[in-house]
Amino acid sequence: MKHLIYILFISLSITTNAQIDYTKLIIGRNTGLKTFYNGDSTRIFGFAESLGEAIDIPGPTIRITEGDSVMIDFWNVSQGAPHTIHLHGLDVDQQNDGVPALSFTVGHMDHGFYVFKAPHPGTYLYHCHVVSSIHVQAGMYGVMIVEPSSGTNVVWNGGEAFDRDLLLTTSEIDTLWHNPDVLLHDTTMGAMIMVPETFEPQFYLVNGITETNLADPLNHHYVGLNEKVYIRSSNIGYMGVRHIFPSSLLAKTISSDGRPLPTEVSSDTVELHPGERFGTLIQVGTDSIYPITTEFFDLNTQNVMSTQTSYIHTSAASIIDLPEPTISVYPNPSHTGIFHITGDLEQAYHIYDSIGRILQSSQDNTFDLSDQSKGIYIMRYQDRLIKLINY
Amino acid sequence: MIRCLIVALLIISFKSYGAIIDVRLEIKSGTLNLVSGTPIPYKVFTQQSGFPNNSDLLIWEVGDQINLTVVNADSVLHGFTLDSYVSFPSIAVSDSSYQSFTLNNAGVYRYYDPINSPYNEYLGLAGIVHIKNVGDNVPYFYWDVREHQSDWNDTIIQAFNPDLNFYTPDYFTINGNSNPDINNDPTARVVGANGSEFRIVIVNNGLSIHSMHFHGYHFISIADSKYMTGRNKDTFPIYPKDHLVLSCVPDKGGEYPVHDHNLVAVTGGQVYANGIFTTMLIAP
Ligand SMILES: [Cu+2]
Ligand SMILES: [Cu+2]
């Protein structure tokens, strides 16, 4: 019954806002759990597109089209604090700006409707603006992309074309800020809200992952040979970030904060401070792997606090639509380093290490990683990738 | 001949617009009251009789003749530099230095104590000079952005310089104020109207990088000491000792926040949102 009323309400509000071109449901929750490469985990807040979807960082990427009237239906299913959605950089009017006291907040089990016109094509952010220092750190952020009205693979109408875009979204996690006494702050109006004395992250995230997770081929960015790729970088953390591309990619930064730059900048380095976004075109060649180095620097001392490496991987195969397995591997994980294959091997398989280097190719039913270090390996067979754990 | 005429015209215009301005800046010691109420030792350059929260903002015009006296009313040695115009390497206690100069170039400049850099500047001895073009009638707002590590000021006053690698400021100010007091400073608080250009001069006199994010509007940088000008953005980083002049023609009314998007810097003494957070009030 409740559901019905809700649907009725939505359809009513859609019909009253006759010009809405696109509606997007975003759910806010307080009960996420983020697990890191080393097995540590921490509580997070965050966004999802459906009730069944687990909260992760960053939230879902929202793509809208230039000129469209957009309605974000924000449903707060948090059992906790009110939340909002601030449309960072979209220059929406005060009512839809998502700042408590100046706009509206959305309480538990309430819906908030944010209505705005999609502005100039580019890369934007959305995040909660309730006690933003805490709720953004908690994980309530994601990227919003405005695509040109003339098509998705062009930077803006009449601008350069590209084959695909890739996101580099940076942030950090200091687990001290994720203690319940910080996250579950007083929500009464005018309450004094304290944040921890220090911000000293343990985890420096690129697209929500870090360290060996970035090296895992399952998390590489797969692109085609000789493609032109548009890198959409955004920094929603509390540190400075410096992405360094291999010079062979001929990186050229053409836009920032949803507008063209007055002059293109040909540089392998793109620096982002909190809240900034940049658009950088790169020209992929025929190498199999292109590492992207990301330095996180402290804004007070300018000292580099962490260096992360993510990988652009050229491959004909996509890891998105995997065919049904025709073979399986056992034991996996393997303690001896010996793995066996069941099923008919119609062609050779390849074993890669965690940074994508090929270790062996074979059509045997058994392979041996006992002389390799403990860790994660990847087996590629036809279009399928299988994660192997050698422990 | 034409060139001669232009030169003559310029001289005439300087003569007719240029004012003679006597400026007497005193270097003073006092206290800055942080948003929490905690007082910290502080120093300023000021023409005022009291002890302000911030070194004076000096707004002059191209062609003005400035007769500048800087008096060291503090108990330790200081100096004075106004980039491009003045350098007094040292001014002894109770002593003063004098220079007369004419302003040739419009722009935003910093003045500061060059001694014990950057610690004397950190203690408050740095300010903004804005030399405006004759006839520039655009409304300007001025943000002297800083941060403070409350337990450092006493230490520095006692002639011990902490290691900058351990700088972790806990208070963040514009013109010496934190939210909500920034909105009570008419120099800082943007009040404007839909369709009317206003500009914001931002100078970072602190030690940290700040990343200023504007709600409601994109701004165009018409001066930027670090990056190319003409950038049309909603978030502008500003490095220590750098300046920015941003222009905006609002396309709607409303009240929109501006804040440091390093969200640690919107807190003060661990309290949210007692840091660099203010709002722009634009009439519809
Ligand atoms: Cu929230
Ligand atoms: Cu933001």
Number of separate domains in chain B:
2
Residues B118 and B20 in one domain: yes
Q: Note the pLDDT of residue B3.
A: 47
Residue of B41 and A337 predicted with greater confidence = B41
Distance in angstroms (rounded) separating the CA atoms of residues A81 and A188:
9
Q: Could you give the dihedral angle defined by the CA atoms of residues B176, B178, B184 and B189, in that order, rounded to the nearest 10 degrees? A: 90
In A32-91, the residues whose Cβ lies within 8 Å of chain B are 86, 88-89, 91
Residues B113 and B208 in one domain: no
Residue A330: pLDDT band by 50, 70, 90 thresholds? Answer: confident
pLDDT of B76 over the 80 cut: yes
Which chain A residues are within 8 Å of B165, Cβ to Cβ?
301, 303
Q: Note the pLDDT of residue A325.
A: 57
Q: Which of B137, B167, B189 is the last residue of a domain?
A: B137
Is some CB atom of chain B closer than 8 A to the CB atom of A199? yes
Residues B184 and B105 in one domain: no
Is some CB atom of chain A closer than 8 A to the CB atom of B242? no
Is some CB atom of chain B closer than 8 A to the CB atom of A166? no
Q: In whole angstroms, how far apart are CA B57 and each of B143, B171, B188, B242, B262? A: 10, 21, 11, 16, 26
Closest residue to A94, CB basis, from B165, B255, B261: B255
How many CA atoms, within 13 angstroms, populate the side-chain half-sphere of residue A297?
A: 19
Which chain B residues are within 8 Å of A239, Cβ to Cβ?
262
Residues B74 and B186 in one domain: no
pLDDT digits (tens, 9 = 90+) for A196-216: 999 999 999 999 999 999 999
The DSSP secondary-structure symbol of A83 reads B
> Residue B17 in 3-state DSSP?
helix
Class of residue A31 by CB neighbours under 10 A (exposed 0-12, middle 13-18, buried 19+): middle
Is some CB atom of chain A closer than 8 A to the CB atom of B118? no
Residues B17 and B131 in one domain: yes
CB-CB contact of A242 with A297 (8 Å): yes
Residues B56 and B95 in one domain: yes
> Residue B132 in 3-state DSSP?
strand
Provide the 10 A C-beta neighbour count for residue B151.
11
pLDDT digits (tens, 9 = 90+) for B105-147: 999 999 999 999 999 999 999 999 999 999 999 999 999 999 9
DSSP string, A32-47: EEEE-TTS-EEEEEEE
Residues B132 and B171 in one domain: no
Residues B214 and B245 in one domain: yes
Residues B217 and B124 in one domain: no
pLDDT of A364 over the 50 cut: yes
Closest CA to A254 of A217, A228, A223: A228
Residue A329 phi/psi, 5-degree rounding, is -120, 135
Distance in angstroms (rounded) separating the CA atoms of residues B130 and A291:
45
Cα nearest neighbour of A198 on chain B: B168
Residue B65: pLDDT band by 50, 70, 90 thresholds? Answer: very high
Q: Which domain holds residue B179?
A: 145-283
Q: Which of B90, B115, B137 is the last residue of a domain?
A: B137
Q: Note the pLDDT of residue A319.
A: 44
Is some CB atom of chain B closer than 8 A to the CB atom of A165? no
**Domains of chain A with bracketed CATH:** 2-155 (2.60.40.420), 168-320 (2.60.40.420), 328-390 (2.60.40)
- What are the strands of the beta sheet with B219-224, ordered from one edge? B171-174, B140-148, B198-204, B243-248, B219-224, B232-233
Q: Which of B72, B104, B137 is the last residue of a domain?
A: B137
> Residue A248 in 3-state DSSP?
helix
What does the pLDDT average to over B22-35?
98
What does the pLDDT average to over B189-197?
98
Residues B124 and B149 in one domain: no
B241: CATH: 2.60.40.420
The answer to whether B271 contacts A194, with C-beta atoms less than 8 Å apart, is: yes
Distance from CA of A289 to the nearest CA of B (A): 32
Residues B276 and B151 in one domain: yes
Residues B91 and B208 in one domain: no
Complex ipTM over 0.90: yes
pLDDT digits (tens, 9 = 90+) for A285-329: 988 899 999 999 999 999 999 999 999 998 644 444 444 557 888
Distance in angstroms (rounded) separating the CA atoms of residues A183 and A162:
41
H or E stretch at A291:
strand A289-297
CB-CB contact of A97 with A119 (8 Å): no
pLDDT of B201 over the 80 cut: yes
Cα nearest neighbour of A127 on chain B: B261
